[in-house]
Structure 1
């Protein structure tokens, strides 16, 4: 999970560095880098390339593209650490969607923890350093659709191979990003080509090692380690991009992480 957190943090940081390019072009290259791994692996696994639950796979792909695009767009307005922290509010929306669509119950203590996490969002917006409303809008929208993704994947369950689910997402991102970026295309330099492709590589290995972590150990042990990504991105943001995080921003991030990590503990303890 530590390797996964590092990979996702590096992916987000490279995307932040490439934010001078149009977001659609970034989405396109993000998908290319991952498809280089997923397509051969799906073919090697000899599973149905387009899956069986096509409706839910398409919904997962579309919501994934929206969430990814909104997150990348938010990096044009927010520091990398703040954006990643705010996107981690997704479990709140996932729990609410699961309550209505999957009839999963939410304990009173979980509502309190969600409130604490959301209070962190309000503190960051109200007292954080240079938190633009447009950036906040995009990253919360990204978190909402990420919450939908969690519920859709739960709905799909074990009926589809994980690689097929990822492949659907990346193929749709490739199509959407490719078509939308035609109008805004800028020719990357050699270094920028490498960085663009690296976003997909980092994204793939982040997903791979996260999956391996959940397969190797209990969820309540490894899941909180995923939030190490926030710490890593704050460090990268400070030294690479010169981001400044005041005390209020750090307090907001702490409330978000505390509320969501303890929620994982409570949820797993009751299962």
Structure 2
């Protein structure tokens, strides 16, 4: 049997991740044309709870404090807003544009970490953020074409996702990752439910099945991404994420008749390049810090 190196395994797992997440996009876009956005988002999380049953043992061991509950529901509100805007954007703009603009999440996380947590930011990282911002402008091209409400929704979605991830980074310091995912998956539908009920339409069995598979692909996508990061550094597997944009543009053309837009690919390349550079630079800084710590030991 051929032994596959860890970095190659990481790249393969990340490739699987891109396929899973692009299938989530396809199913959301398809279902979104038949059900209200908030209802689709609510059912996606509700039907996905079945995949979290194995985490119940870990949840039962946690002693929840008021601070943990505040963080949990704060994240739920950010994530609910992000998911709702993302579902809405999928019904309004091409899949490729949604995917490319979603690549901005790590950029907003970096900015949020500086603003909220006072993290230091060096000139190379600032220049990378500028490149990513310019990549977003290449995709949107304000002044050269009309900005759709879907574009605005996607910007809000990416910022809200960044807020969710920043809060998650605080929660994972005190709770196991499986518990953090469980809490998000339980609290987000609770936040969305009142609004979803206001415009509720009885879903068909076909729509429920598609939303169940949406949850399944999303769950396995997060699992395969975790495996990818366990096998190889983020600096190695992060560039593979760009393949998701290729899948999105291709399937958007084949399944939904969306036009090919070279500016979306160019902007996506700029954003992913910037994100990959930041990831590589942070990984190198961590290695240097560990090496320095080893040298200082008596």
Common fold: TM-score over 0.5 = yes
Cα displacement (A) at 1:173: 2.5
Q: Is the 8 A contact 1:63 1:146 kept in 2?
A: yes
Equivalent residue number for residue 198 of structure 1: 213
Tell me the equivalent position of 1:42: 55
Once the two structures are TM-superposed, the CA of residue 50 in structure 1 deviates from its matched residue by 7.6
Give 1:176 shift.
Answer: 3.1
2:227 alignment partner, one of 205, 209, 212: 212
Runs of 4+ in 1 over 4 A off after TM superposition: 49-52, 127-131
User: Could you say what secondary structure the match of 2:172 adopts?
Assistant: helix
Query: 1:67 — aligned with what?
Result: 82
- Extract unaligned runs of 5+ from structure 1: none
- 2:37 pairs with 2, 17, 23, which one? 23
Whether contact under 8 Å (1:128, 1:245) holds in the other structure is no
Q: Is the 8 A contact 1:224 1:264 kept in 2?
A: no
Gaps of 5+ in 2: 1-13, 287-298
In structure 1, distance between residues paired with 2:64 and 2:50:
19
Residue pair 1:41, 1:163 contacting (<8 A) in 2 also: no
Which residues in structure 2 correspond to 1:147-226 (within 5 Å)? 147-226=162-241
Higher-Rg member (1/2): 2
How far apart, CA to CA, are the structure 1 residues paired with 2:236 and 2:143? 31
Q: How many residues align?
A: 270
- C-alpha distance after superposition, 1:80-110 (max 9, x if no partner): 1111110111112111111122222222111
Tell me the CA shift for residue 152 of structure 1: 1.4
* 8 A contact 1:12–1:80 mirrored in 2: yes
TM-score, with structure 1 as normaliser: 0.91
Name which of 119, 125, 129 aligns with 1:114.
129
- RMSD, matched Cα: 2.2
Task: Provide the TM-score with structure 2 as the length reference.
Answer: 0.83
How far residue 51 of structure 1 moved from its aligned partner, in angstroms, is: 4.5
